[in-house]
Structure 1
Amino acid sequence: MKKNGLFKFGLLLLILISITSCVSKKDMIYFQNDEVISNELHKNYAPKIQTDDILNITVSAREPEAAVVYNLYKGGGQSSSTDPITYLVDNEGNITFPELGKIKVSGLTTNQLKNDLIKRLEVFITNPIVTIRLENFRVSILGEVKSPGPYNLENEKVSIPEALAMAGDLTIQGKRKNILLLRTNGDKVESIRLDLTDKALFKSPYFYLAQNDIVYVEPNRAKVNSSAIGTTSSLISIASALLSLVLILTR
């Protein structure tokens, strides 16, 4: 009778361990509702220029010699044989541009800055062409993803799902309903929680990443428990060994 009770206790313990290691289907599947999301919500999205950003700005025109003075190079001259200089946005949100002097750029998109520069340059150049690129568009992806780390992005319009895909997607132990996004906004850091299992994510103003964003994927309860005590298989092995020992000692 005593052995039978111990056997039942051990069996119940094994069942409980197996149950706690299971993950609900609803916790794993992305974008679960069938709501139709309008593409207009993010059609014109573009990241804003921030302090400490590095800008690559090139000016050209039909008459190349007219634009030469606005394109400086690291070698100190105006020859294409060396790399063009880049422009660091200072703490006040300004850059100093050749011939035009100090220009306020923080808070603008690259397209808005391009249009502003074209208007300024039209006084000196006929039909100027301006191209601008953010050189330091980088995000960091941490936590329960297959390849965590910093990612330098060529595209300035990258969504949360795209960034996570670049990091190899979430591991089975990652919380899909509670993604943490950390975003620097001036002298403040915003903390935003996002749910990958809900299609409403596409409506979020944080669907697209900004430069220097940090995305953190928390571990689920099973991962936290296994890190404290060991893996689930180890728990089962330990429980089995303890049960065998108790049965031997009570014979």
Structure 2
Amino acid sequence: MRKIYFLNLYLISFILFFSVGLFSCTSTKKVKYFQDIPDSGQLKTIVKAEYVPPVIKVDDILTVIIQTIDPLSASTAIINMGNIPIASTGVSLNPSAISTASQQVSSGYLVDKDGNITLPILGKIKVEGLSTSDAADAINKIALNYFKVPTVTVRFSNFKVSITGEVLRPGIYVIPNEKINILDAIALAGDLTIFGKRDNVLLIRENPDGSKTPYRINLKKSDMMSSPYYYLRQNDIIYVEPGPGKSAATDASQARYYTLVGTVLSVIIVFLTRK
């Protein structure tokens, strides 16, 4: 009887140790970014990625603000009124996301099929193929004929990226600043979950002809910050694939159940054999 008692104690101990090993925390090596940067000593210099300003395309929506030395000018107010946001009726992929497309509807001036925007007073202005800075200069030249010392600001109203997969807040994000990199975008989405594959993030980019090209990015390597895909472009899609730990976590609750049942049965057997 005493031998059976100790045998069951060994069984319980084995189950407990097995449970701890099964559900212990994942090694930080699997989730750490930029693993090729040393923790101490002289840090490496990372080559700066080249930033190419996006150009305006047909169907883009632009925010155009004109300011003059007369802040009460009714003419400029009419132009600036075209940028007032409109209430949203869209559906969000994630209502808790801060900057989803459903919460920020693009408003402004649409680039028509001929590559023009039509501004009150100023008329049609060709902007297709220009950066926002060049478009501001083009508008400013025309505005000089109507206003005294005008200052023109042009921004994209529909510069958005989609972030999906193993991130905390997947969604479509409207970006107020066109110079955004992949790390900024991931931060907007609340970072990768513990299950996201950091060495194989998929970036899908839209080509000028409308086709899509996929690229793979390794967040564990610092040279990704020198990549031509480090800075995002309009309509980029970021997909974070689940790692092998995802399937294990899906079955974790079932495994915990079996472990708990086994432990309870072992305890019952111990008490029964002691009688």
Give TM-score scaled by structure 2 length: 0.65
CA contact (8 A) 2:67 2:76 kept: no
The amino acid of 1:116's aligned partner reads: A
Q: CA deviation at 1:199?
A: 0.6
Aligned to 1:78: none
- How many Å separate the matches in 2 of 1:204 and 1:107? 24
Aligned to 2:104: none
Aligned to 1:36: 45
- How many Å separate the matches in 1 of 2:259 and 2:71? 78
Q: CA deviation at 1:119?
A: 2.7
- Residues 1:215 and 2:235 are matched in the alignment: no
CA contact (8 A) 1:180 1:194 kept: yes
Aligned to 2:159: 137
Q: CA deviation at 1:236?
A: 6.3
Q: CA deviation at 1:53?
A: 2.1
CA contact (8 A) 1:59 1:67 kept: no
Aligned-partner SS, 1:107: coil
Residues 201/162 of structure 1: CA separation in 2 closer, same or farther (3 Å cut)? same
Q: CA deviation at 1:55?
A: 1.1
- How many Å separate the matches in 1 of 2:174 and 2:56? 16
- Residues 1:109 and 2:131 are matched in the alignment: yes
- How many Å separate the matches in 1 of 2:32 and 2:149? 52
- How many Å separate the matches in 1 of 2:164 and 2:54? 21
- Aligned residue runs from structure 1 range 73-92, under 5 A: 83=84, 86-92=108-114
Residues 107/22 of structure 1: CA separation in 2 closer, same or farther (3 Å cut)? farther
- Aligned residue runs from structure 1 range 74-223, under 5 A: 83=84, 86-186=108-208, 187-223=210-246
CA contact (8 A) 1:94 1:106 kept: yes
Aligned to 2:64: 57
Q: CA deviation at 1:131?
A: 1.2
Aligned to 1:8: none
Aligned to 1:27: 30
Q: Alignment RMSD, CA only?
A: 4.0
Residues 62/193 of structure 1: CA separation in 2 closer, same or farther (3 Å cut)? same
Give TM-score scaled by structure 1 length: 0.70
The amino acid of 1:178's aligned partner reads: N
- Give the fraction of aligned pairs with identical amino acids, expressed as a percent: 41
CA contact (8 A) 1:182 1:189 kept: yes
Aligned to 2:254: 234
CA shift digits 1:184-224 (9 cap, x unpaired): 23311221211111111111122122233221111001213
CA contact (8 A) 2:162 2:238 kept: yes
- How many Å separate the matches in 2 of 1:20 and 1:194? 29
The amino acid of 1:135's aligned partner reads: S
Unpaired segments of 5 or more residues in structure 1?
1-10, 76-81, 245-251
Unpaired segments of 5 or more residues in structure 2?
1-13, 38-43, 86-106, 266-275
Residues 69/239 of structure 1: CA separation in 2 closer, same or farther (3 Å cut)? closer
- How many Å separate the matches in 1 of 2:189 and 2:177? 16
Aligned-partner SS, 1:55: strand
